[in-house]
Amino acid sequence: MAFQIPRGTQDILPGEVEKWQYVEKIARDICRRYNYREIRTPIFEHTELFLRGVGDTTDIVQKEMYTFEDKAGRSMTLRPEGTAPVVRSFVENKMYGDPNQPIKLYYIGPMFRYERPQAGRFRQFVQFGVEALGSDDPAIDAEVIAMAMELYQSLGLKKLKLVINSLGDIESRKAHRQALIDHFQNRIHELCEDCQVRLEKNPLRILDCKKDRDHELMATAPSILDYLNEESRHYFEKVKAYLTKLGIPFEVDSRLVRGLDYYNHTTFEIMSDAEGFGAITTLCGGGRYNGLVQEIGGPETPGIGFALSIERLLAALDAEGVALPVSRGIDCYIVAVGEKAKEESVPLVHKLRKAGIVADKDYQDRKIKAQLKAADRLSAKFVAILGDDELAKEVINVKEMSTGEQTEVPLHSIVDYLKERLS
């Protein structure tokens, strides 16, 4: 029987995985500079966490979660997103008691959603995200948005568009909620079944419907911006002012509501304007979630964050033709000729590796010509040839592949020689 990879997943092979490592390295470096520390949470959690944290009217909860019963009959779910697990950990480990507030965290790891696979979207995907918990300062909203923009720009993306909106506080949301019900209820039968269910449960979710997004009722729906109270309007103006001070251009879109129930006040998305990127242009999304910590059992704590798919990021790089500066070659390949030289090549390659030099050797008992071809396929910077004559003289012939220059080097000096040339 020939086994195949499950639909909606992918193998990331050598030659491609280096791009992932580079992107993750840049993301970690940006987090370090912004003073965000890594957190790692379980790949599966109790299902109730996502029902309460993400919201039971969302597509994620209704259609996309991988949920199963464990052997004790408890309902578990493979995490579909990163915020709810981070907040659960924040509450469970009483991070709200840490004197250093706000708590700034980031994560990188696989998420799971059962949705139709398409370009850049998988059922298992890797998500990078940040969460800042403990501050309701509009400046930290701008900081979080700036982090996301910096990641994309530092990797070489230029065709980006930042879109922001405000969903307001509880009072503003209530007023807007009633306006949406009044707007949709007489013609709700024209929309899909999901929208009909959402009308009473959470009418804001109707605006996020993928099936009916082109319906005329969507275009004429009441704008949340018209229902912001003074406090919410002031908060949004401060966020926009900070973004302007940071030199980050943005557009305001009153229809941007995001796909999760926990958002309030600032929401944002970063999109790709690259030609040929595809119909779904969103690269990153996030926003403020001031009630989520309480919903999960913690004290009243404001929070804001964002999440992005590494797969989508790499697709955007491809769309703009950006080549990442990843190195796939090795430093030195040892070519051994003769039985004694083969024996001595084992401790020699080990010595190079211990010194921090990326080294390899032949393990196929190939002739010298085949070994040299192997070194070339591995893009070796140097080839060190060791034979019986060299062993007798305690030297080794080192060839620099880019120039063809060949030098006889004392065996005891090979580490120092390679380190000097590689630097």
Question: Based on the domain organization, do 236 and 306 belong to the same domain?
Answer: yes
Q: Which residue range is the domain that position 366 belongs to?
A: 332-417
What is the rounded average pLDDT of the residues 185-195? Answer: 83
Residue 216 located in a structural domain:
no
**Range scoring the smallest mean pLDDT among 67-76, 254-263, 395-404:** 254-263
Q: Is 127 annotated as a binding residue?
A: yes
Domain boundary among 292, 319, 346: 319
Q: Is 38 annotated as a binding residue?
A: no
262 annotated among ligand-binding-site residues: yes
Q: What pLDDT shows up at residue 261? A: 60
Least confident of 67-81, 125-139, 266-280, 358-372: 266-280
**What is the CATH classification number for the domain harbouring 307?**
3.30.930.10
Torsion from C-alpha of 62, 68, 74, 76, nearest 10 degrees: -70
Asked if 292 and 401 sit in the same domain, the reply is: no
Same domain, 79 and 144: yes
131 is an annotated ligand-binding site residue: yes
**207 occurs within a structural domain:** no
If asked whether residues 153 and 257 sit together in one domain, one would say yes
Q: Judge whether 113 is annotated as a binding position.
A: yes
pLDDT for 219 equals: 81
Is the pLDDT confidence value at 175 over 80? yes
**Gap between the Cα atoms of 150 and 341, Å rounded:** 51
Domain assignment present for residue 176? The answer is: no
Q: Say what the pLDDT of residue 259 is.
A: 55
Q: Say yes or no: 308 and 340 in one domain.
A: no
Give how many domains the chain has, as a whole number: 2
Domain boundary among 276, 298, 319: 319
* CATH code of 389's domain: 3.40.50.800
User: pLDDT for 83-135, tens place per residue?
Assistant: 999 999 999 999 999 999 999 999 999 999 998 887 778 999 999 999 999 99
Alpha carbons 79 and 35: distance in angstroms, whole number: 25
Q: 300 lies in a domain?
A: yes
Per residue in 367-405, pLDDT (tens digit) is: 999 999 999 999 999 999 999 899 999 999 999 999 999
Tell me the pLDDT band of 285, cut-offs 50, 70 and 90: very high
200 is known to lie in a ligand binding site: no
**What was the pLDDT predicted at 322?**
95
Q: Are residues 395 and 357 part of one domain? A: yes
Domain assignment present for residue 281? The answer is yes
Q: What is the structure's pLDDT at 280?
A: 74
pLDDT exceeds 80 at position 208: no
pLDDT confidence bin for 345, thresholds 50/70/90: very high
Using alpha carbons, select from 263, 279, 288, 277 the residue that is nearest to residue 311: 277
Domain-ending residue, one of 293, 319, 345: 319
The yes-or-no verdict on residue 407 having pLDDT over 70 is: yes
pLDDT at 258 over 80: no
343, 256: one domain: no
147 domain-assigned: yes
Q: Enter the tokens of residue 44.
A: 């599966």
Global pTM reads 0.89
The whole-number pLDDT of residue 263 equals 78
Same domain, residue pair 272 and 361: no
Answer yes or no: do 150 and 59 share one domain: yes
pLDDT at 17: 95
Percent helix, strand, coil in the chain, to 5, is: 40, 20, 35
344 annotated as ligand-binding? no
- Known binding residue 83? Answer is yes
Annotated binding-site residue? 328: no
Closest CA to 135 of 300, 308, 307: 300
Are 293 and 355 in the same domain? no
Residue 304 included in any domain: yes
Residue 57 in any domain: the answer is yes
Tell whether 60 and 129 lie within a shared domain. yes
pLDDT on residue 298: 95
Do 266 and 157 lie in one domain? The reply is yes
